[in-house]
Structure 1
């Protein structure tokens, strides 16, 4: 794998994802991240049990914080984004053209996040995994094979509205 992912941004959004927060700072996960070039992690931990702070572990600098008004700057500064499967976090990362690994929170009931992650992986926009498979996923996937997420096209919505309102018109 030739690409280096020195700066990794991780986000759990506004929710709690204690398992991901715990897994990321374990030596096996940090080793897998180091194997793809990681030297620095910025980690938005939301309401999880992890404590905010800056520290180094396994020769990786880690900066954990709860919330900011916007995570867009952290996304833009990252070489790789690891995110929970929230639609907002996923779309923000994909629109910034960042390689994305989504970690699905299996503890959520009615897991629509899994459906979103599955479809975006089928479309080759991201890879997804669970906390249990994050190490094997990091060791196996090639982020350079992902397809860029298509730019938003507002004309599609306008054209749709035009077609809806023209159907009922009588000339």
Structure 2
């Protein structure tokens, strides 16, 4: 499934500043050197993280590419959150920051070694390979323990993490229109598919995800196998699968013909043939 976080506008250093202060070339070089030293201390800044050691879990935080989520980023870049990660056996934290990359890098860089609690930390703005970061949080028997993805409630990101089978904490971004991410988070938690995390209490969500990992033996999953497309009718049980079908108009048409008629009405789905590409429209 295609994700919405790609390598457009990577990095947080492209902005301009104004004011009367003069910044010398030497100061700029020193700042760049400090940033490189920080990133080299942990994971590579813009590359998928290496597989964590079997003794430690990996946490990947993502906010997507289209909207900032500063409150989530601020909370995961605190000493208290890192302490909770370490307490639940996590060895590494990787944060995709979007437009807030520079600010979050500075917050993380201010944490000393004791405050990091032995957790290797890295952050970056965007990535062209979201799947590689997510898969590092999926448990694999004899290779790596299950970690955790903490994500905003974007349907593309949520669908990809659920498809991989990695433990997931969904945190709704309350600044978005109609707060639609909250409805998604609550519905998926009711189905026991995710943990609904909330700003201000993410450490509680970590505790609940740790329980799920233990109860579900998620440390011992078999190797990941990408699903075949289009998904078979027997396995098409979520809205995300119907989103995938929009790329297969012929299969979508067949499936719609097989849908039951309720009270004389066909399902409220239409196909747009202008560009030979199916488009779902829900009333």
TM-score class, shorter-chain normalisation, is 0.7 to 0.9
Aligned to 1:12: 63
Q: 1:8 to 1:117 in 2, by over 3 A?
A: same
Question: Could you give the per-residue CA deviations for residues 49-74 of structure 1, whole angstroms, max 9, x where no partner exists?
Answer: 42389866232111100111121000
Residues 43-54 of structure 1 mapped to structure 2, 5 A cutoff = 43-48=95-100, 49-51=103-105
Match of 2:179 among 91, 102, 111: 111
Q: CA deviation at 1:47?
A: 1.4
Cα distance change, pair 133–153 in 1 and its aligned pair in 2 (3 A): same
Report what 1:137 is aligned to.
205
Aligned partners of 2:106, 2:152: CA distance in 1, in Å?
18
Higher relative contact order (CA 8 A, sep 6+): 1
Flag the 1:35–1:159 CA change in 2: closer, same or farther, 3 A: farther
Show the counterpart of 2:189: 121
Count of residue pairs brought into register by the alignment? 162
Rg larger for: 2
How far 1:154 sits from its partner (Å)? 4.2
What is the CA–CA distance in structure 1 between the aligned matches of 2:83 and 2:205, rounded to whole Å?
A: 13
- Deviation >6 Å, runs of 4+: none
**Corresponding residue of 2:231:** 153
Q: Is 1:32–2:84 an aligned residue pair? A: yes
Answer yes or no: is 1:97 the counterpart of 2:165.
yes
TM-score (norm 1): 0.80
Identify the residue that residue 72 of structure 1 maps to in structure 2.
131
- Helix, strand or coil: the match of 1:106? coil
Gaps of at least 5 residues in structure 2 are: 1-54, 138-146, 219-226, 237-251, 265-283
Alpha carbon RMSD of aligned pairs, Å?
A: 3.1
Q: Cα distance, 1:132 vs. partner? A: 1.2
TM-score in terms of structure 2 length: 0.50
List runs of 5+ in structure 1 lacking aligned partners.
Answer: none
1:21-65 per-position Cα deviation (integer Å, ceiling 9, x unaligned): 111011111111111111101111111242389866232111100
Name whichever of 133-142 and 82-91 sits farther off: 133-142
1:96-140 deviations in Å (ceiling 9; x for gaps): 000101112223331111111111111111001211121222234
Distance 1:134 1:54 in 2: 17
